[in-house]
């Protein structure tokens, strides 16, 4: 397939000769998925695991599932399950969740759905319809939009969808700037992998850009993937197009129309699912470079609607079954865990996770603005599917959406503590 910017027969290489450095990013997708996806990080990390590439990659037991072990827990089992304002709460789970909430900052909002017995789910929530700006949790909606476009173009051709993801090479441009999250970069000779922020000119496959977007949570990747969704919507099966065709499209389309297009491609698959787009609203790109081309608006998500999205995913309804399982794999942690997922109580659990944060500062005597410790806004959100333990006949399975805005405090450790408390609560209910 043609590159977005140019036809390239060579294997893309970033960081030739770079030695392995400390692996700080958290990355999803089962490590044996390289053959299916072409995501080079997967092969590199598997090589570290088996000792054929230098470095260390400690994985908790729950992060070692194979590609074929990731399952949809509600598909064909409980296809009618949904969550809403009239959903009855489970008394025991509700009491336990309220005990967790009452010791925390009042900004916390929760929704928890226990599907250990998928035919008899348990639901509990605290302030579930009060929302915040999504931060990087909104990248789940971008991922949904991408798979929706692929299905629209190739409804009965799963191989064609995978081919677009695997073979389309995307070059980072000014849309991706500025950004700071490090992404994994594999040496040309498979001698090592390093992590650094995306730079203009970096080239990755579309599947790799999605991989970078989901768990390393690269803002550059989030923007580049959303941009591809717009291009897929515009050019259809003519995608990918040349650099000149792309530039002409964005230069000759008004900002107002581009914004309307950007919002529409995000909302269409959500509306198809029957989700509330007032409670799942993403209307701003993740980088200023993109926002100069496509103006943004306020965004908002709520715990209840995020859990509804997780339910649809487990039912195989987010776009379709193939898309749902691929998206769940992309959320699977196969690297060092952080925030909610770092809880040692989850070491044996498979965790499918997306985190988001957004902080802002204002002048205040004696206060210094620090990352994740904003005094004007300090959002931190966690969305997770937990299967505890990762394998076996007596698994506990539950869906969690949690949001907070605790000023001047990096809430990562608190989120991990809450993860431990929720895990213990679910264990008590499912001994």
Establish if 11 belongs to a structural domain. no
Task: Report how far apart, in Å, the C-alpha atoms of 208 and of each of 85, 122, 169, 204, 310 are.
Answer: 38, 36, 9, 6, 23
Q: What is the mean pLDDT of the chain?
A: 91
How many Cα atoms within 13 Å fall on the side-chain side of residue 264? 11
Model pLDDT, residue 51 = 87
Q: Which residues contact 330 (CB under 8 A, 6 or more apart)?
A: 28, 29, 143, 210, 211, 214, 215
Establish if 152 belongs to a structural domain. yes
Q: What is the pLDDT of residues 65-83, one digit of tens each?
A: 888 889 999 999 999 999 9
Model pLDDT, residue 29 = 64
Neighbour count for residue 336 (Cβ, 10 Å): 18
CB 262 within 8 A of CB 295: no
What single-letter DSSP state applies at residue 369?
-
Model pLDDT, residue 25 = 34
Element (H, E) at 351: strand 350-360
How many Cα atoms within 13 Å fall on the side-chain side of residue 287? 27
Number of domains forming the structure of the chain: 1
Element (H, E) at 428: helix 412-429
Q: Quote the CA–CA distance of 349 and 427 in Å, as a whole number.
A: 12
Q: What is the pLDDT of residues 23-62, one digit of tens each?
A: 333 345 677 788 899 999 889 888 888 888 888 877 888 9
Establish if 77 belongs to a structural domain. yes
Please report where in the chains the tokens 């081919």 appear, as a residue. Answer: 163
Q: What is the pLDDT of residues 107-140, one digit of tens each?
A: 999 999 999 999 999 999 999 999 999 999 999 9
64 band by pLDDT with thresholds 50, 70 and 90: confident
pLDDT greater than 90 at residue 10: no
Q: What is the pLDDT of residues 131-185, one digit of tens each?
A: 999 999 999 999 999 999 999 999 999 999 999 999 999 999 999 999 989 999 9
Establish if 26 belongs to a structural domain. no
Model pLDDT, residue 68 = 86
Q: CA nearest 59: which of 421, 386, 340, 349?
A: 349
Element (H, E) at 422: helix 412-429
Q: Which tokens sit at 53?
A: 């590439």
Q: What is the pLDDT of residues 345-374, one digit of tens each?
A: 999 999 999 999 999 999 999 999 999 999
Model pLDDT, residue 28 = 55
Establish if 24 belongs to a structural domain. no
Model pLDDT, residue 45 = 86
> Angle formed by the axes of helices 158-167 and 206-214, to 10°?
80
Q: Which residues contact 245 (CB under 8 A, 6 or more apart)?
A: 235
CB 399 within 8 A of CB 426: no
Q: Quote the CA–CA distance of 346 and 211 in Å, as a whole number.
A: 22
CB 330 within 8 A of CB 210: yes
Model pLDDT, residue 3 = 35
Mean pLDDT of the region 330-346:
89
Distance from chain centroid for Cα 136: 7
Model pLDDT, residue 7 = 30
Q: Residue 375 is part of a domain; what is its CATH number?
A: 3.40.710.10
- Which range has the worst mean pLDDT, 16-25, 171-180, 217-226, 386-395? 16-25
Establish if 8 belongs to a structural domain. no
* Of 27 and 13, more confident: 27
> Which domain range does residue 264 map to?
31-429
CB 28 within 8 A of CB 330: yes
Model pLDDT, residue 215 = 80
Establish if 211 belongs to a structural domain. yes
Task: Report how far apart, in Å, the C-alpha atoms of 209 and of each of 169, 187, 341 are.
Answer: 9, 17, 22
Q: Which tokens sit at 356?
A: 């988001």
Angle at 93 between CA 91 and CA 94, to 5 degrees: 60
Mean pLDDT of the region 392-403:
94
Q: What is the pLDDT of residues 288-312, one digit of tens each?
A: 999 999 999 999 999 999 999 999 9
Strands 169-171 and 182-186: unpaired
In three-state secondary structure terms, 207 is helix
CB 58 within 8 A of CB 336: yes
């Amino acid at each position: 397939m043609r590159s977005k910017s140019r036809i390239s027969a060579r294997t893309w290489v970033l960081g030739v000769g770079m030695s392995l450095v400390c692996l700080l990013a958290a990355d999803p997708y089962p490590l044996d998925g390289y053959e299916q996806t072409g995501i080079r990080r997967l092969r590199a990390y598997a090589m570290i695991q088996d000792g054929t590439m230098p470095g260390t990659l400690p994985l908790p037991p729950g992060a070692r599932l194979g590609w074929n072990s990731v399952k949809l827990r509600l598909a064909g089992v409980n296809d009618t399950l949904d969550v809403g304002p009239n959903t009855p709460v489970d008394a025991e789970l509700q009491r336990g969740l309220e005990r967790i909430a009452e010791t925390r900052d009042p900004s916390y909002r929760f929704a928890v759905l226990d599907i250990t017995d998928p035919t008899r789910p348990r639901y509990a929530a605290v302030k579930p319809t009060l929302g915040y700006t999504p931060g990087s949790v909104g990248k789940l909606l971008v991922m949904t939009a991408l798979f929706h476009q692929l299905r629209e173009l190739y409804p009965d051709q799963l191989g064609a969808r995978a081919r677009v993801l695997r073979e389309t090479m995307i070059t980072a441009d000014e849309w991706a700037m500025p950004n700071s999250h490090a992404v994994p970069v594999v040496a040309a000779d498979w001698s090592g992998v390093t992590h650094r922020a995306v730079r203009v000119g970096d080239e990755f496959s579309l599947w790799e850009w999605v991989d970078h977007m989901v768990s390393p949570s690269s803002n550059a990747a989030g923007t580049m993937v959303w941009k591809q969704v717009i291009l897929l919507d515009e050019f259809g099966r003519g995608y990918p197009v040349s650099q000149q065709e792309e530039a002409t499209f964005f230069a000759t389309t008004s900002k107002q129309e581009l914004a309307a297009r950007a919002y529409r491609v995000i909302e269409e698959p959500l509306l198809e699912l029957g989700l509330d787009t007032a409670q799942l609203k993403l209307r701003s790109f993740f980088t200023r470079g993109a926002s100069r081309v496509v103006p943004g608006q306020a965004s908002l998500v709520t715990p209840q609607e995020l859990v509804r999205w997780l339910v649809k995913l487990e039912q195989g309804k987010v776009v379709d079954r193939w898309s749902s399982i691929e998206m769940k794999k992309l959320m699977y942690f196969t690297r060092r865990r952080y925030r909610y997922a770092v809880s040692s109580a989850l070491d044996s659990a498979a965790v499918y996770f997306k985190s988001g944060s957004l902080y802002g500062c204002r002048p205040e005597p004696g206060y210094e603005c620090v990352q994740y410790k904003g005094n004007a806004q300090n959002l931190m959100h966690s969305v997770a599917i937990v299967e505890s333990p990762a394998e076996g006949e007596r698994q506990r399975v539950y869906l969690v959406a949690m949001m907070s805005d605790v000023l001047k405090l990096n809430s990562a450790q608190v989120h991990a503590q809450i993860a431990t408390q929720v895990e213990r609560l679910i264990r008590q209910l499912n001994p």
